[in-house]
Structure 1
Amino acid sequence: MTRETRLSPMQLPQVTEPRNPGMELDMGWVRRAQANSSAIERRVATLPGRRSVKKDHQAAWLLRAITCIDLTTLAGDDTTERVRRLCAKGRHPVRADLLQALGFDRLSVAAICVYHDMVAPAVAALTGSGIPVAAVSTGFPAGLSPFHLRVAEIGESVQAGANEIDIVISRRHVLSGDWQALYDEMRAFRAACGEAHVKAILATGELGTLRNVARASLVCMMAGADFIKTSTGKESVNATLPVSLVMIRAIREYHERTGYRVGYKPAGGISKAKDALVYLSLIKEELGDRWLRPDLFRFGASSLLGDIERQLEHHVTGAYSAAHRHALG
């Protein structure tokens, strides 16, 4: 297997893995889900210092991280030209001279993530690249628009060419413990996605407790989510290691019980290469190497790519470069 093959874009999970079909809502399983906050915090506190990779190993892990990035722009001033530039960066995320020095010919990000209005320009800009377009949907980021409009929004994005849909759940269902309502909502969103890959955004910073995060994770997987995702990036608290541990252990338990692998996507606040390495270490320890591929793991990020490219330049040249030398577009 060549280096180019190993790091080229992966197929969507429903192609490379049997797609999670979901199951009947198991309220006994949901109610049994708990989260020991003190133990969780102790576990994740050990990661940054205990799992450290250096030199060539670090460069290899950072290249792997790039292939797992959903390169994202979700700004109110997004334009067609900005999205085209972002797509160009997604096709060639590392400067050619650095990539050559590292011994690779080709590399790309996992997906480009945009609002619905930018789906068509992104699809056009990525033609022939094999990189999927992900659209945020269902009243992103608050998820408070009328239900029929949220479902219709999914259909519009799929029709426009989105291969992946990042939906937001109704937080009130979790906060009120109405797990049947959350399950029914997620099932409807999954059905509206059709063949498109669906990522369920839990907005974990607004769910109140880690136990709620665990239960919401299970319910969304039972309802057929292909991925569960931490955050929209718009909340005051986004991806954290404790939340990640709770969610990936729910993924592990779901896989052990059903045989289906569900993906994981931390999003929001992950902007440094060293943070990406910690998340990859956590995934490797808790879920294993199979989840260290873009069909089962993604970073929702924008500025992360620039910092990774800076670290790779330091690895190649021995000198740190200014951030403006690695612009996203």
Structure 2
Amino acid sequence: MSSTSPTIDRASGSPFDDVTASEASLRRFLHGLPGVDQVGAEARAAALGTRSIKTTAKAHALDLAIRMVDLTTLEGQDTPGKVRALAAKAMRPDPADPTCPQVAAVCVYGDMVATVKEVLGSSGVHVAAVATAFPSGRAAMDVKLADTRDAVAAGADEIDMVIDRGAFLSGRYLQVFDEIVAVRQACARADGSSAHLKVIFETGELQTYDNVRRASWLAMMAGADFIKTSTGKVQPAATLPVTLVMVEAVRDFREQAGQMVGVKPAGGIRTAKDAIKYLVMVNEVAGPDWLTPEWFRFGASTLLNDLLMQRTKMTTGRYSGPDYFTLD
């Protein structure tokens, strides 16, 4: 697979003015990206998933994976009590072991942000809110922006927006680009800071790896802080090959633009074994710079418990059982 990318002219006010000036120029840039070798991508992802991890490295990987979790609940039946309990677990995943690290963030709907923020306080665990008519992304732009602003005003540290897949698949790239730019602007706070923006592609609906690569570059050029695979509501969600394509994209983007962008696979990652496969892939494809919660996250609800079970097994020599930890 080629890792080269079209040259980006950074001389103007925006690094990408030359490729975003019109629908035609944006299309020309995105369709000029190297095509993804499907067989090669899937074979490489499979090979990376076979790496052997030794005991010391595994212990480090388990703690790192815990620190990278965006502990998530996005159900219509979510209650204040449920999200408070989830926030408490995010800060102390294993109440019996104070050495267990806390997770990166708690991800909820916007109306639950204030409740989660109250529980988390100054713990350092972030609050992430889904926005822009999650999970479909089908709403008027003023509704999407109001959704974002409300979540930021309630205290969200991070916004997980969804792109309009219908627009993207129809080739209306400039529309998608402009929406990401507008949502990023809506992430601004009164103090001049800004909530981090994660852009969700719903890769299960994008149909090809070429589209995943194009969506990755489109979002990064529009100012995404993170690119994210899925909402968790559509199957297939995160897969190793899809995430490989996205990790290659952020690596190439830094080479071209000098800027790092994070990656968040979400949906379907349930076991510590699977999480470690992703960490190996990130390390070998993008490098260790991405092996921090600032640049790589897991969007998950059930993954944390398996990570905790495996961690307990390594520290005590025995499995604690799935009912030892709270169900999320």
Do Structure 1 and Structure 2 share a fold, with TM-score over 0.5?
Answer: yes
Contact map agreement 1:232 1:267 (CA 8 A) in 2: yes
Give the aligned partner of residue 7 of structure 2: none
Does 2:229 align with 1:230? Answer: yes
2:43 counterpart residue number: 42
Choose which of 16, 21, 36 in structure 2 pairs with 1:23: 16
Partner of residue 211, structure 2: 212
Q: Secondary structure at the match of 1:63?
A: helix
Instruction: Map residues 246-325 of structure 1 onto 2, 5 A cutoff.
Output: 246-325=245-324
Distance 1:48 1:262 in 2: 23
Looking at structure 1, the residues matched to 15 and 299 of structure 2 have their Cα atoms a distance apart, in angstroms, of: 24
Of 30-39 and 194-203, the range deviating more from structure 2: 30-39
* 1:285-314 deviation per Cα after TM superposition (whole angstroms, max 9, x unaligned): 111111010111100011100001110111
Aligned partner of residue 162 in structure 1, secondary structure = coil
Counterpart of 2:79, as a letter, is: T
Tell me whether 162-171 or 182-191 shows the greater mean CA deviation.
182-191
- Give structure 2 stretches of 5+ with no counterpart: 1-13, 189-193
Conserved 8 A contact 2:159-2:187: yes
The equivalent residue for 1:193 is 187
1:149-168 to 2 correspondence within 5 Å? 149-168=143-162
**What displacement does 1:328 show?**
4.5
Q: Which position in structure 2 is the counterpart of 1:176?
A: 170
- Contact kept in structure 2, 1:175 and 1:208, CA below 8 Å: no
Contact 1:114–1:134 under 8 Å retained in 2: yes
Overall identity of the aligned pairs, in %: 47
Partner of 1:17: none
2:69 pairs with 1:69: yes
Aligned ranges 1:30-179 → 2 under 5 Å? 30-33=30-33, 34-49=35-50, 51-97=51-97, 104=99, 107-179=101-173
Please report how far the alpha carbon of residue 22 of structure 1 lies from its aligned counterpart in structure 2 after TM superposition. Answer: 6.4
Contact 2:15/2:257 (<8 A) preserved: no
How much is the aligned-residue C-alpha RMSD, in angstroms?
A: 1.4
Is there any run of 5+ residues in structure 1 with no aligned partner, and where?
1-20
Shift in Å, 1:224: 0.3
d(CA) in 2 for partners of 1:328, 1:92: 14
* Superposed structure 1 runs of 4+ greater than 4 Å apart: none
Question: Aligned-pair distance for 1:218?
Answer: 0.3
Instruction: Measure the CA separation in 2 of the matches of 1:236 and 1:46.
Output: 23
- Other-structure match for 1:326: 325
Listed one character per residue, the Cα deviations across residues 162-192 of structure 1 (whole Å, up to 9, x for unaligned) are: 0100000000122111211111111111111
Q: Which amino acid aligns with 2:130?
A: V
CA distance in 2: counterparts of 1:115 and 1:262, whole angstroms: 24
**What's 2:10 paired with?**
none
For residues 214-248 of structure 1, give each alpha carbon's deviation from its aligned partner in whole angstroms, at most 9, with x where no partner exists: 10110110000000000000002100011111111
Question: How many equivalent pairs are there?
Answer: 302
Contact 2:49–2:281 (CA<8 Å) still a contact in 1? no
Please give the alpha-carbon distance, in whole angstroms, between the structure 2 residues aligned to 1:313 and 1:131. Answer: 22
In the superposition, the TM-score normalised over structure 1's length comes to: 0.89
Alignment partner, residue 7 of structure 1: none
For 1:196 and 1:23, the matched residues in 2 are separated by: 22
Amino acid at match of 2:264: K
- Counterpart CA distance in 2 for 1:274 and 1:22 is 39
Q: CA deviation at 1:262?
A: 0.3
TM-score when normalising by structure 2 = 0.89
CA contact (8 A) 1:87 1:112 kept: yes
Q: Give the structure, 1 or 2, with the largest relative contact order (CA under 8 Å, sep 6 or more).
A: 1
Alpha-carbon distance between aligned partners in 2 of 1:112 and 1:52, rounded to the nearest angstrom: 31
Q: 1:180 to 1:216 in 2, by over 3 A?
A: same
Q: CA deviation at 1:153?
A: 0.4
